[in-house]
Amino acid sequence: MRVTFYGVRGSVPAPGPTTARYGGNTSCVEVILGDGTTLVLDAGTGMRALGSTLLEGGRHQRTHLLLSHTHWDHVLGLPFFAPLWRKDSEILVYPLPTDAQERFQRTIFDDIHFPVSVNDIPAKVEFVKPSEEPWQIGPARVRRIALNHPGSAQGFRIDDASGASLVYLTDNELLRGESGEAALDALARFSESADLLIHDSQYLDADMPAKCGWGHSVVDDVLTLGKRAEARKLVLFHHDPDRTDGDLDKIKVRSTAWLAEHAPETALCVAMEGQTVDLAAK
């Protein structure tokens, strides 16, 4: 399994010299399974560059798009996804299993927000309602879990037939104290022994309590989840748009030290645009 980050920022794109190294595009992650099947996690602004890459490599014919939710920063790149404008492309979209399909179409492709109707898109677009039970995409077993975010969101676990596993939990607020313990345990079980655990890490303790309830997690709480889940590698993701490259470097140093002391079996990665992680078959 090969995982490439095309967008790692949260809330709003953050271009500029102070964010250039980690990147300013919003959430979009490509996952290539062992048999070459392409999955995309979220459709933030990073999806534009991903579309170009797929076309250049002749890999645009079939894409599985798994959406955590349909807030702007997670869908803004979809209208600019090059395969969408090709008749020889098929895109299977897995939105929230509520009324998200209707809301998604209405919000993104209308004459208010975008000049092209969903009915005029050349590609074949199919909406697939995610099951509460595990389902198959190519050689991978996929599961979903509900997350703590305003308006609701979902996370995914992808277990490839090769044995590699990835968990994607973004736009999720980990709560402290008794109120959050049950949810933390559930997420730890869902993420147990994952080769790669990607989690929303937008905030620091200094951001609280002002941003409590906004649906994003504090880095220290994400480290605790990584330890409890015994993940092989923990990825800090969905960086705050005001977080500079220097800020993220400091977070990386401090978080690496914490894991070395409390969970030495778990490696740390601070998500960076353009970064690729290869997960070995087992």
Question: What is the structure's pLDDT at 271?
Answer: 99
> What value does the mean pLDDT take over residues 141-162?
96
pLDDT tens sequence across 166-216: 999 999 999 887 778 999 999 999 999 999 999 999 999 999 999 999 999
Question: What is the structure's pLDDT at 180?
Answer: 87
Asked whether the predicted pLDDT for residue 112 surpasses 90, the reply is: no
Question: What is the structure's pLDDT at 15?
Answer: 97
Question: What is the structure's pLDDT at 190?
Answer: 98
Question: What is the structure's pLDDT at 187?
Answer: 98
Instruction: Tell me the CA distances in angstroms from 63 to 115, 165, 282, one per residue in order.
Output: 23, 19, 25
177 Cβ partners below 8 Å, 6+ apart?
none
Asked whether the predicted pLDDT for residue 106 surpasses 80, the reply is: no
> What value does the mean pLDDT take over residues 77-87?
96
Q: Of 223, 149, 152, 231, give the one whose Cα is nearest residue 190.
A: 231
The pTM assigned to this predicted structure is: 0.96
Any idea what the Cα angle at residue 106 is, between residues 104 and 112, rounded to 5°? 125
Burial 226-257 (b: 16+ CB within 10 A, else e): bbbbebbbbbbbbbbbebbeebbeebbeebee
Domains of the chain: total: 1
Asked whether the predicted pLDDT for residue 77 surpasses 70, the reply is: yes
Task: Please tell me the distance from the alpha carbon of residue 10 to that of residue 27, in angstroms, as a whole number.
Answer: 7
Question: What is the structure's pLDDT at 99?
Answer: 62
Q: Which two tokens stand for residue 213?
A: 């309830």
Q: Of 34, 96, 41, 95, give the one whose Cα is nearest residue 63.
A: 41
pLDDT tens sequence across 17-59: 999 999 999 999 999 999 999 999 999 999 999 999 999 999 9
Instruction: Tell me the CA distances in angstroms from 230 to 6, 77, 91, 180, one per residue in order.
Output: 26, 33, 34, 19
What is the number of other CB atoms lying within 10 angstroms of the CB of residue 90? 15
Query: Residue 38: what are its φ and ψ, rounded to 5°?
Result: -105, 125
Burial 152-174 (b: 16+ CB within 10 A, else e): bbbbbbbbbebebbbbbbbbbbb
Give the CATH number for residue 185.
Answer: 3.60.15.10
- Domain of 87 in residue numbering reads as 2-278
Eight-state DSSP code of residue 9: B
Q: How confident is the model at residue 219 (pLDDT cuts 50, 70, 90)?
A: very high
247 Cβ partners below 8 Å, 6+ apart?
none
> What value does the mean pLDDT take over residues 89-115?
79
Q: Which two tokens stand for residue 245?
A: 């490259």
Asked whether the predicted pLDDT for residue 104 surpasses 80, the reply is: no
Q: Of 149, 235, 151, 161, give the one whose Cα is nearest residue 191.
A: 235
Asked whether the predicted pLDDT for residue 282 surpasses 90, the reply is: no
Question: What is the structure's pLDDT at 108?
Answer: 74
pLDDT tens sequence across 122-138: 999 998 988 889 999 99
Question: What is the structure's pLDDT at 102?
Answer: 67
